[in-house]
Amino acid sequence: MVTRDVEAEAQYQNPAPIGPQSPIPGGVHDMIVSWDRNEGYMSVRLADDRWWFKEVLGKVVVTETNNAVGRIHLRGKAQLDDEQLVLWRPSDAERHPWVKGLVYPASHQRLCYRRFPPAGEDPDWRVRDERETSKGNPNALVFVKGYVGDLVIEWPTQDPVAHIYHNGPWTKCDPGCFMHPNGGFAHLYES
């Protein structure tokens, strides 16, 4: 057994090996992805089972977010390759429909949960364009109410913090959009 030296509420990835895990069952699943602050790894859950990973890539459908606890709900196929999680869109999944709103071009978008919002505000999610941030663009960070759509996901081991990235375009839907009447959600698309 691997002994894990992890601080409570770990924000950085644990450098210890995850260790052996059973395979993720084949087929399409409803999954929940979240950062495990106790273990210091990202995790994926299917029903009552849980697996940990240190990097992820692939394509998958985001069905919703749980804003109260910072979890992203996905639908797709999953496989562990050592400490890497690989995801696939279900073959029968329809493309996410474009919604009315401000369209952001395909880039390297960091998605993360806003655990500590300013006093009086509900937790939100963020979308931060890493390419525009590196250029000093003050509009590179956008707060949203949640994510839905076609996620082109990546999280390399070089990033030791609990981030996932979307490598595609997205739209922040306007109030009155057909899927979220109050607006403010990030709708994700493949390029």
Domain ranges in the chain are: 29-88, 101-188
Is 128 in contact with 43 (CB distance < 8 Å)?
Answer: no
Per-residue pLDDT reduced to its tens digit, 61-113: 999 999 888 899 999 999 999 999 999 999 999 999 999 899 999 999 999 88
Q: What is the pLDDT of residue 6?
A: 42
Backbone dihedral angles phi then psi of residue 172, each to the nearest 5 degrees: -95, 110
Q: What is the pLDDT of residue 43?
A: 95
58 vs 116, higher pLDDT:
58
Distances in Å between the Cα of 157 and the Cα atoms of 73, 84, 107, 133, 143 are: 22, 9, 19, 20, 25
Residue 120 has pLDDT above 90, yes or no: no
Per-residue pLDDT reduced to its tens digit, 161-182: 878 999 999 999 988 777 777 7
- Please report which confidence band the pLDDT of residue 123 belongs to, taking 50, 70 and 90 as the band edges: low
**End-to-end alpha-carbon separation of the chain, Å?**
43
Q: What is the pLDDT of residue 91?
A: 95
10 vs 46, higher pLDDT:
46
Q: What is the pLDDT of residue 161?
A: 84
Mean pLDDT of 123-148: 90
Number of H helices, E strands in the chain: 1, 14
Beta bridge partners of 166: 109, 153
- Please report which confidence band the pLDDT of residue 10 belongs to, taking 50, 70 and 90 as the band edges: low
Residue type (1 letter), 170: W
Strand boundaries in the chain, DSSP class E:
29-36, 41-46, 49-53, 55-66, 71-81, 84-88, 101-104, 109-114, 124-129, 141-144, 147-155, 164-166, 170-173, 186-188
Mean pLDDT of 184-191: 93
Q: What is the pLDDT of residue 117?
A: 65
- Please report which confidence band the pLDDT of residue 122 belongs to, taking 50, 70 and 90 as the band edges: low
Q: What is the pLDDT of residue 139?
A: 86
Residue 3 has pLDDT above 60, yes or no: no
Q: Cα(10)–Cα(3) distance, rounded to whole angstroms?
A: 15
Per-residue pLDDT reduced to its tens digit, 30-70: 999 998 888 889 999 998 899 999 999 999 999 999 988 88
Q: Cα(40)–Cα(36) distance, rounded to whole angstroms?
A: 6
